[in-house]
Structure 1
Amino acid sequence: MRNVLGRYVNRFEKKHRDFRRYAVVVAVLALIVFVGVNWRLHDKGISMTSDYQCGLKEHKHTEECYKKVLICGKKETDGSEGHTHTDDCYKEERKLTCDKEEHTHDADCYDEEGNLICDKEEHTHSKDCYTTEKKLICGKEESKPVKAHHHTDDCYKKELVCGLKEHTHTASCYSDESADIENKSDWEATIPVLSGNWAEDVVSIAQSQLGYEESTANFKLADDGETRKGYTRYGAWYGNKYGDWSAMFASFCLNYAEIPSKTVPVNSGSTAWITKLKQQKLYKAAANYNPTAGDLVFLDTDSDGRADHVGIITKTKTASFTAVVGDSNDAVEENTYKRSSDAIIGYCALPENPKQKTDAESTTAAKASEEKTTEESAGESTKTKSSTKTENKTETAETDSSIEQKLSDGSGSSLMKSAKKKVSSKSAKRAAATQNAAEGMRTASYANFSPYVVWKEQEQSMIRIQGTMKQI
């Protein structure tokens, strides 16, 4: 009993394992079919819920779409060898041509006495009375030989009568050529204000385009019939709306940074662009150049040894740099690259704006002239201050001497009047000197003196006058 039960258990477990194996195989096959079909539907753009933009009805011509039109120009016939009449085709017939009646006198032609009473001429037809004629008896018409002909397919051509164009929907049928279209005013509205510094301006314009993506609704299929090439504003600006647009993006930025193409040529292809830059001596090999912001970097993203993308460098570090690259994952992106990366083919060294350089030189010359004028003005103010200071000291010494003499003479009353008059005169002069010094300081911003010196001297003079007044 135990052995029987064990056999049933083993048999059940084996069937269960086999079932699980079959289930796994079926699941894997189902997954493969699902992924394959879904990928093909996505790749071809065929979806029952999508709207066809081609404007055509899907149709394939069948036999019902055509009718046969006879073009050989011949009648269908079994053919014949033709016929020419021979003697066998005729029968000879004798035809009486004489006008006499055949008659032989008999007893009735005589009377009882034996006299001829018949008014007819005795005549027997001879061969001279006949002519021989040939009568056609073959029943055929004389004709040339005719070759047999039966209509074949070569005798006909198919003429299309359905009125429909043969068409099978593909991914291109989903492209809406009116979607995402931009004109010049649309994309120029995204351009920032320029500073005149080419490097700063091209970086600013490139960064203003970050996030832009090529159209997924408006596209063309590449030569392989599957790869989609979306519409971009950069292609529309350059004249190739559905082309690879990395180089056209960089050219767009240079153009709107107002960098003349005679100075820095532009191109829609990365490799061809390098050739033009070499002619202008602007191209730098990756190993022999340290790029700066505003320079162009040429990239080999598919590792075939040729440049296929162009970026605008926005920031540099010792071992890396960042660049805004067009057509990077079908969008404008800012990416970071190591200087040692094999993807870097070379650079374009962006020259300095010659107009900005001239303006900077003019500004420097004007500033130097202004500083020279300021220094001369400050020198004159310093001379004025020194002259005023000397004059004040002289007047103070004279005043002190006069006061001492008058005190010794005992002229106190007149001395007081004279002192007050002198103080008033000196105060007026010092005030004028102070105002002149202050004005000089405002004009001579680069001179090495302070209004505090003038005020300090005035204060000391007043202290001396007050001391003299006390003595009086």
Structure 2
Amino acid sequence: MIPVQSSECGFNEKYPRVHNGITDDDYSIKVGIQHLASCLNDAKVASSGDTEHISLTLQGYNYGNEYISWANEHFGGYTRANAKVFSDEMKAKLKTNVYGDPDYVVHVLRYYHIGNNNIVEVAKSQVGTTSGSKYWTWYGFNKKVNWCAIFVSWCANESGMLDDNSVPKFSLCTNGENWYKKNNRWKDKSYVPMTGNIIFFDWQQDGHTDHVGIVEKVENGKVFTVEGNSKDEVREKSYNLSSKSIYGYGI
């Protein structure tokens, strides 16, 4: 099987531009790299953590660069929904039953991890992301759920820290709390946290955690955090270390 599906792109000048037209492995890789570089440039990917534009790149790689300009013009970027719209429009235009893979991004990103062991850097790269769909679909949910804990898990996974020794995979704040307590990794609110610790909140101050985030730093008596599902967005926030809303920390 040819390793890189790049036969139909414009950089293929040697073989027929049809599905599986390239029959040489090395040439397939060469063409694929050129096509990917072109998509990365068109999508304006800023860094390895820029998954918003990387997603746009990947769907453009699958559909062709024209998808990138189309998605930016009509939707401001990639979404799973507009990938399907584009595929449907092209199928109608070309009178074919299949056009690319609308779920290409989801399939590829399962294997893409930033992997620098810096959960804070990963979290900060996501600031401004709204709706949380990329996180709860990664977790396995097919409809929207509260995603603050899922965001922490996703960041741990992307940084290579999601395991039984560092950060657990959890979708409920209480499950995360229980894991840290069970593994003697829990600190109450009197603890001064360190960068990368997991911070749990109790908004109602009723003894039950109901929100979670990632500690960025502690400075001048304040803890600075990155949190998912803060008004349905990834946000940077800060609290006094003495805040009654802080419930405890996972370390």
TM tier relative to shorter chain? 0.5 to 0.7
- Secondary structure of 1:328's counterpart equals coil
Task: State the TM-score, normalizing by the size of structure 2.
Answer: 0.54
Would you say 1:249 and 2:151 are equivalent positions?
A: yes
Match of 1:281 among 184, 200, 216: 184
Partner residue, 2:175 = 272
| Distance in structure 2 (CA, Å) of the matches to 1:210 and 1:249 | 11
| Distance in structure 1 (CA, Å) of the matches to 2:111 and 2:240 | 33
Would you say 1:326 and 2:228 are equivalent positions?
A: yes
Closer, same or farther: CA 307–263 of 1 in aligned 2, 3 Å = same
The runs of at least 4 aligned residues of structure 1 exceeding 4 Å deviation read 179-182, 186-189
| Distance in structure 2 (CA, Å) of the matches to 1:187 and 1:341 | 38
Shift of 1:320: 0.6
Closer, same or farther: CA 336–250 of 1 in aligned 2, 3 Å = same
Match of 2:213 among 311, 315, 323: 311
Shift of 1:260: 4.3
Shift of 1:341: 0.4
Match of 1:183 among 96, 102, 106: 106
Partner residue, 2:198 = 296
Would you say 1:233 and 2:134 are equivalent positions?
A: yes
- Secondary structure of 2:141's counterpart equals coil
* 8 A Cα contact 2:114 2:159, kept in partner: no
Amino acid of the structure 2 residue aligned with 1:259: M
* 8 A Cα contact 1:283 1:348, kept in partner: yes
Shift of 1:185: 3.2
Closer, same or farther: CA 321–236 of 1 in aligned 2, 3 Å = same
Shift of 1:273: 1.1
Amino acid of the structure 2 residue aligned with 1:316: V
Query: Which structure's relative contact order is higher, taking Cα pairs within 8 Å and 6+ residues apart?
Result: 2
Shift of 1:299: 1.1
Shift of 1:232: 1.1
1:286-320 Cα offsets, whole Å, 9 max, x none, are 12x11011111001234443211111111211411
Partner residue, 1:84 = none
Shift of 1:184: 4.7
- Larger Cα-atom Rg: 1
Partner residue, 1:396 = none
* 8 A Cα contact 2:153 2:162, kept in partner: no
| Distance in structure 1 (CA, Å) of the matches to 2:162 and 2:236 | 25
| Distance in structure 2 (CA, Å) of the matches to 1:184 and 1:208 | 21
- Secondary structure of 1:275's counterpart equals helix
Closer, same or farther: CA 186–286 of 1 in aligned 2, 3 Å = same
Amino acid of the structure 2 residue aligned with 1:236: T
| Distance in structure 2 (CA, Å) of the matches to 1:335 and 1:188 | 30
Percent identity between the two aligned chains: 30
| Distance in structure 2 (CA, Å) of the matches to 1:238 and 1:317 | 33
* 8 A Cα contact 1:309 1:326, kept in partner: no
Partner residue, 1:343 = 245
Amino acid of the structure 1 residue aligned with 2:157: N
| Distance in structure 1 (CA, Å) of the matches to 2:174 and 2:211 | 9
| Distance in structure 2 (CA, Å) of the matches to 1:179 and 1:303 | 42
- Structure 2 regions of 5+ residues with no counterpart? 1-78, 84-102
1:414-450 Cα offsets, whole Å, 9 max, x none, are xxxxxxxxxxxxxxxxxxxxxxxxxxxxxxxxxxxxx
Closer, same or farther: CA 325–248 of 1 in aligned 2, 3 Å = same
Shift of 1:178: 3.5
* 8 A Cα contact 1:203 1:314, kept in partner: yes
Shift of 1:332: 0.2
| Distance in structure 2 (CA, Å) of the matches to 1:208 and 1:251 | 15
| Distance in structure 2 (CA, Å) of the matches to 1:192 and 1:301 | 32
Closer, same or farther: CA 177–259 of 1 in aligned 2, 3 Å = closer
Task: State the TM-score, normalizing by the size of structure 1.
Answer: 0.30
1:382-437 Cα offsets, whole Å, 9 max, x none, are xxxxxxxxxxxxxxxxxxxxxxxxxxxxxxxxxxxxxxxxxxxxxxxxxxxxxxxx
Amino acid of the structure 1 residue aligned with 2:176: W
Closer, same or farther: CA 342–187 of 1 in aligned 2, 3 Å = farther
Partner residue, 1:223 = none
* 8 A Cα contact 1:184 1:237, kept in partner: no
Partner residue, 2:128 = 211
Closer, same or farther: CA 275–325 of 1 in aligned 2, 3 Å = same
- Secondary structure of 1:234's counterpart equals helix
Shift of 1:188: 7.1
1:155-196 Cα offsets, whole Å, 9 max, x none, are xxxxxxxxxxxxxxxxxxxxx99368861535876x6462xx
Aligned CA RMSD, in angstroms, stands at 2.5
The total of aligned residue pairs comes to 151
